[in-house]
Amino acid sequence: MTSSDKPVHRRAKDYRWQGVEELPYKEDGRALFKTITRQVLFSDPQMQGELRYFEVAPGGYSTLERHEHMHALLVLRGRGHCLVGDEVKAIELYDLITVPSMTWHQFRADAGEPLGFLCMVNAARDKPQLPTAQDLSRLKASPAVAAFLAEGQHRP
Q: Which of 95-124 are b and which e, b meaning 16 or more Cβ less than 10 Å from the residue's Cβ?
A: eebebeeebbbbbbbbeebbbbbbbbbeee
Please indicate whether residue 119 is annotated as part of the active site.
yes
- The active-site residue, picked from 56, 82, 88, 119, is 119
Q: What are phi and psi of 70, to 5 degrees?
A: -95, 165
28: which DSSP letter? S
Question: Torsion-angle region of residue 111: left (phi > 0), alpha (psi -120 to 50) or beta?
Answer: alpha
Which amino acid is residue 146, in one-letter code? A
Q: Is the dihedral of CA 63, 24, 50, 108 positive or negative?
A: negative
Other beta carbons within 10 angstroms of residue 148's beta carbon come to 23
Active site residues: 119
